[in-house]
Structure 1
Amino acid sequence: GFPGIPLAVMFPKVRFVLCDSVGKKTIVAKGVSEALGLVNVEVVNARAESLPETFNYVVSRAVTALDNFYPWVRGKYTGNIFYLKGGDFSEELCHMMRMAGLRPGSVRTWKIQDWVNDPIFEDKYVIDIP
């Protein structure tokens, strides 16, 4: 559901496929998207690496370390990965970049608190991975 449902509300002309391997979460996401009348949302109960489709972008909150997540979605997108992460992720980011063969400077990070001035977002970031 998060961040897919809020994004689907904000961008009604964009198609969103919400993927989760936990059935309870997909049931809730489907119910919320239907209750909101979101015709641009498809909810799939599956692991990301099992999806046969290729997507423009991958948006995910921190479900695992970046070096675990990247292989799951490698080859499944044509744009970028936008990964929501908190805390100190510098070591796992460096490891993922080496593993993926990404050059220094190709991955960007933004502090969410720069956009939303709330203490809850103090150590939360969006990581933009090509």
Structure 2
Amino acid sequence: GKKIKVVEEVADGLGLQNVKVKNMRVEGLQLQFDFIVSRAVAAMPTFVHWVKGKIKKDSVHPLKNGILYLKGGDLTEELKTYRNAQIFNLSDYFTEEFFESKKVVYLPLKFKG
């Protein structure tokens, strides 16, 4: 789709050699990754179930391997079982109205769920 094309162009424009762009259902992936990055396509527990075996255990980055998930709204109830989840409010970085309720949820590999 169009969004995947944009991601490919951004990765190419930045010269990123370690980015793999896939337009498919995560259940079909037979690979493991340092990070799973996605916009919200399901409630967090459902998404965690889909990707749990897809994250490499060995981390080579300052940020531990895990999930980076774009979500909106109140996440209190949805994230209550993920005590180690970190929430980054995008409104702290962007002033446009669109970002007022948007957050990036970082869930390191050692999550429960």
In structure 2, what is the Cα distance between the partners aligned to 1:10 and 1:90?
37
Report Cα offsets for 1:16-70 as digits up to 9, x if no partner: 23333xxxxxxxxxxxxxxxxxxxxxxxxx3102211001111000011111100
- How many matched pairs? 97
Ranges in structure 2 where 5+ consecutive residues have no aligned partner: 57-64, 109-113
Higher relative CO (Cα under 8 Å, sequence separation at least 6) belongs to 2
* Corresponding residue of 1:16: 19
TM-score where L is the length of structure 1: 0.64
Ranges in structure 1 where 5+ consecutive residues have no aligned partner: 21-45, 98-103
Amino acid of the structure 2 residue aligned with 1:82: L
* Corresponding residue of 1:60: 38
Say whether residues 1:93 and 2:96 are aligned partners: no
* Corresponding residue of 2:62: none
Superposition map of 1:1-130 within 5 A: 1=3, 4-5=7-8, 8-9=11-12, 11-20=14-23, 46-78=24-56, 79-95=65-81, 97=82, 104=83, 106-130=84-108
Q: Give the superposed CA RMSD.
A: 2.2
From the two aligned structures, give the one with the greater helix fraction. Answer: 1
